[in-house]
Amino acid sequence: MVRDDAVFGCTGVLLIGTRGAAGPGEVLVRVRGGSEAFLAWSAEPLPARTTVLVIESRGNRQVDVMEWADPLDASPGDAD
């Protein structure tokens, strides 16, 4: 199993929600100047269309992800 270090720290969107320990979903990751699909594992279930951050590569086109909200994408009305 070869790690894919290029995906570490990349963001993506879940195409198929994850099920936590019960199984993976699928994520479309922005990497290498394009987008690539990977099996996505997370500690807690996450629904489809969730924006995620890749926190680890398992190799064999599998990654660990966590929910991610880019602080630079906050709209002006969000700051109080």
Residue 74 lies in a domain: no
Which domain CATH number covers 18? 2.40.50.140
Structural domain for 51, as ranges: 5-69
Look at the chain and report how many structural domains it folds into: 1
Instruction: Please compute the mean of the pLDDT values over residues 58-78 and round it to a whole number.
Output: 84
- So what's the pLDDT on residue 75? 63
3-state secondary structure of 72: helix
- What is the C-alpha to C-alpha distance for residues 47 and 78, in angstroms, rounded to an integer? 23
pTM: 0.85
Whole-Å CA distances, 56 to 27, 40, 67, 73: 13, 10, 13, 23
Instruction: Please compute the mean of the pLDDT values over residues 18-38 and round it to a whole number.
Output: 95
CB 56 within 8 A of CB 44: no
Residue 77 lies in a domain: no
Q: Does pLDDT of 21 surpass 80?
A: yes
